[in-house]
């Protein structure tokens, strides 16, 4: 690659400045928002791939993609262009970009009416392009006190400095959650917190395999730097500034299409194991699970139907049913649906060469084609070889949707589990239809994961248009959160995995992928022992996706009742999950409606508190709950730092108040789940839930956690029927105020739906002694307040 050096101004208009670089390349800067610029580098003045699928600000990108030159969906507010000597400056009211010779960009943010340094390219060479290839690199100067986050599903510490990461989706079964790289997902997005000028994010809009080095590499000829590099494709990145990191997280979700609001039942416990569907009597095994749920009094709303239902011998054949193992699929799904447990069926995008449908699909040219012939590409898949479906072919999408509908949905299956969709096609030049403009697979491997999910989503929407769809995907890229939930793939059973998966989930959340979880108990490796399984469940109940899922090397099964010695404690933890559902569902709605992340590192809401940046196992669920999972074997104490929120924290269980910015050393037994609540919060709970469906018979409790002294604090609660798309809803506003002498609760409602409860139980922490009033009536903790009928 050659370093780009000299540039001249070629063109400007209301939204774009275009530079000619080294006499033949184009560097285009788009001013998209006051705080958002886009930088595009076109080798020889043309795109290698002129469409994007991950940028989706107007919701119209899929399935055919978005022209890369499009500025639709942005306000394009205009800018000021001026020369500063030989340098060119573009300024909005918030952000200023200075372009110097040789090619070198410097970013400044306006704070207190003063431009302050934010970031810059590496001054000794910032942009490189291949001479005979489309390889390209972008180098940034690396400052000593900055912190870097993001990059999605990555192993190790949440702060990414001094490490090198690759985006190259792999089926990394049994990975090391501290060290393995790459993993399943493609998210080349970083957030950098500076020492004094807020934070900036960079999103590289590429689906090509790429590397992001966050300061691991050193070179004596350059100051400290970090870089992005890819061997093909185009350099096209979005640079955004904000005073707070939370704004950058929310903005990334907006840029890539927002998030789906799944049905409420998706928050319930979801059973899963490969052992049932791999068994020769799979139908009996599955029905036995229902019976065991009832016997053990374990609430459950769904079951991940592993791919064994499609097996012939030890292989998997998507859209087939093994009727020897499951002789009556419709009767099976009917039994589960009657029990309120919905199936989420596993589907895969690769057909083995002896698949019953293979010849027909090949004749219809629905597979990705080999780079040198018109035959289907051949790749390793499930201990054999097969061909991957080409989701850039409209005919493939139609075929897929038809099979999802006829094979699954019409048999009573509610949802799809889009699995093994990493698209490990290593013939870089294998050819995709590209919706009529052929594309090399190497440029768009993660796109097929996204389009697979989108096709499944369309099938479900068309089959049940009034119902919110629910889907799961293992692999993906920016944008898949608009359609599906995800998880951290096939993890390995160990205490280390429990700990490092927490950070992996937070990394996804910081990168705009909110609806996530982990295989509770571990997927590969040994069966977890009693203590590890219990601690994993106690952590998993605080994640949007809560599923105990296992393969286990010894073919054993991990279930809530696997270890009788801790079954009671696991049941209690799962039941507590269901008590939290009103709060979880409100957080889920805020994620979809307001772009608020559900899982949050403690620093995200407390940037001023330097202690929160230390590596920790703690995290926030929403803004109100601080979860301090026990992740050490044999632990008898758990040290917890309570961030400086200006109000304080309550121990959920003991009702003890703790000052903000303090350490707590909790004694823990196996039954203990350290949990703290932000002072001022009103936490909505179910009184008695055993299903995630919205049911007024379950009752509703408001747990109040006041702030000492004089204060006013607001919380909210979201209710709807839990399943209907764009149905009526009710937003309940909860205002809690207090003085040294008394507390007062005010409740108001808005929305098209009546509040579904006529009375509410109100509880206070045992450490709170001030009297509580509602509508001038004194209310004791544990009493019910009447709302005078549904509001």
Residue located via tokens 């009556």: 328
Q: How far apart are CA 396 and CA 432, in angstroms?
A: 11
Kindly state the average pLDDT of the residues 530-553.
97
Query: Which CATH number do you get for residue 746?
Result: 2.60.40
Q: Count CB atoms within 10 A of the CB of residue 636.
A: 11
Question: Which pLDDT does position 281 carry in this prediction?
Answer: 97
Question: Which pLDDT does position 495 carry in this prediction?
Answer: 98
Whether the Cβ atoms of residue 423 and residue 388 lie closer than 8 Å to each other = yes
- How much is the pTM? 0.97
Q: How far apart are CA 712 and CA 746, in angstroms?
A: 11
Question: Which pLDDT does position 314 carry in this prediction?
Answer: 87
The terminus-to-terminus CA distance of the chain in angstroms comes to 67
476 and 358 within one domain = yes
536 found inside a domain: yes
> What's the burial of 654, exposed, middle or buried (CB within 10 Å: 0-12/13-18/19+)?
exposed
Residues near 219 by beta carbon (within 8 Å), at least 6 away in sequence: 225
Inter-helix orientation angle 581-594/564-579, to 10°: 50
Does the pLDDT value for residue 472 go beyond 90? yes
Does the pLDDT value for residue 791 go beyond 60? no
What's the number of CA atoms in the CB half-sphere (13 Å) around residue 339? 25
pLDDT in tens, 727-754: 999 999 999 999 999 999 999 999 999 9
Q: How far apart are CA 239 and CA 33, in angstroms?
A: 10
160 found inside a domain: no
Q: Count CB atoms within 10 A of the CB of residue 567.
A: 18
Alpha helices by DSSP H, listed for 58-203, are: none
Question: Which pLDDT does position 788 carry in this prediction?
Answer: 54
- Mean pLDDT of all residues in the chain? 96
Question: Which pLDDT does position 638 carry in this prediction?
Answer: 98
Enter the tokens of residue 736: 């809690």
Whether the Cβ atoms of residue 225 and residue 247 lie closer than 8 Å to each other = no
Query: Which CATH number do you get for residue 395?
Result: 3.20.20.80
140 and 9 within one domain = yes
301 and 245 within one domain = no
Q: Among 102-106, 613-617, 758-762, where is mean pLDDT lowest?
A: 758-762
382 and 239 within one domain = no
288 and 209 within one domain = no
Question: Which pLDDT does position 379 carry in this prediction?
Answer: 98
Q: CA 659: distance to chain centroid?
A: 32
Whether the Cβ atoms of residue 169 and residue 445 lie closer than 8 Å to each other = yes
What's the number of CA atoms in the CB half-sphere (13 Å) around residue 720? 21
Does the pLDDT value for residue 664 go beyond 90? yes
Q: Which of 628, 645, 672 is the last residue of a domain?
A: 672
382 and 274 within one domain = yes
DSSP conformational letter for 558:
-
pLDDT in tens, 706-722: 999 999 999 999 999 99
290 and 206 within one domain = no
Residues near 560 by beta carbon (within 8 Å), at least 6 away in sequence: 296, 298, 537, 548, 567, 570, 571, 574
Supply the range of the domain harboring residue 331. Answer: 268-578
**Positive/negative CA dihedral, 391, 401, 349, 489:** positive
Q: How far apart are CA 70 and CA 432, in angstroms?
A: 23
Percent of the chain clearing pLDDT 90 (strictly above): 96
Does the pLDDT value for residue 439 go beyond 60? yes
């Amino acid at each position: 690659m050659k370093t780009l050096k000299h540039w001249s101004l070629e063109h400007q208009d209301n939204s774009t400045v275009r530079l000619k670089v080294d006499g033949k390349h184009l560097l285009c800067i788009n001013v998209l928002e006051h705080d958002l610029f886009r930088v595009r580098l076109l080798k020889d003045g043309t795109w290698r791939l002129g469409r994007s699928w991950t940028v989706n600000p107007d919701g119209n990108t899929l399935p055919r993609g978005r022209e890369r030159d499009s500025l639709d969906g942005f306000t394009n507010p205009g800018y000021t262009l001026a020369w500063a000597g030989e340098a060119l400056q573009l300024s909005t009211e918030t952000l200023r970009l200075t372009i110097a010779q040789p090619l070198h960009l410097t970013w400044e943010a306006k704070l207190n009416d003063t431009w302050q340094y934010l970031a810059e390219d590496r001054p000794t060479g910032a942009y490189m392009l291949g001479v005979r290839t489309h390889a390209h690199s972008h180098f940034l100067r690396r400052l000593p006190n900055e912190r870097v986050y993001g990059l999605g599903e990555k192993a190790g510490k949440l702060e990414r400095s001094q490490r090198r990461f690759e985006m190259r989706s792999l089926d990394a079964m049994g990975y090391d959650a501290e060290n393995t790289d790459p993993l399943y997902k493609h998210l080349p997005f970083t957030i950098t917190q500076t020492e004094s000028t807020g934070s900036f994010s960079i999103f590289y809009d590429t689906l090509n395999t790429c590397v992001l080095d966050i300061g691991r590499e050193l070179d004596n000829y350059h100051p400290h730097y970090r870089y992005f590099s890819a061997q093909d494709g185009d350099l096209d990145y979005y640079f955004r500034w904000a005073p707070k990191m939370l704004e950058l997280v929310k903005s990334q979700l907006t840029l890539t299409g927002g998030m789906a609001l799944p049905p409420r039942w998706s928050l319930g416990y979801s059973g899963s194991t490969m052992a049932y569907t791999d068994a020769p009597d799979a139908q009996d095994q599955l029905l036995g699970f229902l019976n065991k749920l009832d016997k053990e009094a374990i609430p459950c709303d769904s079951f991940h139907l592993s791919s064994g239902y499609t097996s012939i011998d030890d292989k998997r054949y998507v859209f087939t049913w093994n009727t020897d193992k499951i002789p009556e699929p419709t009767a099976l799904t009917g039994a589960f649906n009657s029990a309120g447990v919905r199936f989420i069926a596993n589907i895969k995008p690769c057909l083995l060469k002896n698949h019953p449908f293979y010849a027909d699909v090949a004749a219809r040219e629905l597979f990705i084609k080999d780079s040198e012939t018109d035959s289907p590409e051949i790749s390793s898949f499930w201990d054999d070889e097969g061909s991957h479906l080409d989701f850039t072919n409209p005919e493939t999408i139609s075929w897929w949707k038809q099979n999802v509908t006829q094979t699954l949905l019409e048999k009573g299956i509610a949802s799809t589990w889009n699995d093994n969709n990493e698209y490990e096609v290593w013939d870089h030049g294998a050819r995709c239809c590209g919706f009529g403009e052929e594309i090399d697979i190497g440029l768009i491997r993660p796109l097929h994961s996204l389009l697979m999910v989108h096709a499944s989503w369309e099938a479900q929407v068309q089959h049940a248009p009034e119902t919110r769809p629910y889907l799961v995907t293992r692999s993906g890229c920016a944008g898949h959160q608009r359609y599906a939930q995800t998880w951290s793939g096939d993890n390995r059973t160990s205490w280390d995995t429990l700990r490092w998966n927490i950070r992996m989930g937070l990394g996804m959340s910081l990168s705009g992928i909110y609806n996530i979880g982990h295989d509770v108990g571990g997927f590969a490796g040994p069966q977890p022992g009693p203590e590890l399984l219990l601690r994993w469940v106690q952590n998993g109940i605080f994640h949007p996706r809560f599923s105990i899922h296992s393969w286990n090397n010894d073919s054993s099964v991990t279930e809530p009742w696997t270890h009788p010695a801790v079954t009671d404690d696991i049941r209690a933890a799962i039941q507590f999950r269901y008590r939290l559902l009103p709060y979880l569902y409100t957080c889920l709605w805020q994620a979809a409606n307001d772009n608020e992340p559900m899982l949050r590192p403690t620093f995200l809401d407390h940037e001023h508190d330097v202690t929160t940046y230390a590596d920790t196992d703690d995290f926030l669920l929403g803004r109100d709950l601080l979860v301090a999972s026990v992740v050490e074997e044999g632990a008898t104490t758990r040290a917890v730092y309570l961030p400086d929120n200006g109000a304080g924290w309550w121990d959920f269980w003991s009702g003890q108040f703790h000052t903000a910015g303090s350490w707590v050393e909790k004694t823990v037994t196996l039954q203990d789940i350290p949990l703290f609540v932000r002072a001022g919060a009103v936490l909505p709970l179910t009184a008695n839930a055993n299903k995630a469906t919205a049911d007024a018979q379950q009752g509703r409790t408001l747990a109040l956690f006041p702030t000492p002294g004089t204060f006013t604090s607001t919380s909210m609660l979201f209710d709807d029927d839990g399943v209907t798309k764009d149905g009526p809803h009710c937003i309940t506003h909860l205002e809690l105020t207090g003085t040294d002498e008394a507390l007062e609760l005010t409740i108001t409602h808005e929305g098209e739906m009546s509040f579904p409860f006529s009375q509410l139980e109100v509880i206070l922490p045992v450490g709170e002694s001030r009297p509580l009033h509602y509508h001038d009536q004194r209310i004791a903790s544990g009493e019910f307040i009447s709302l005078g009928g549904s509001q």
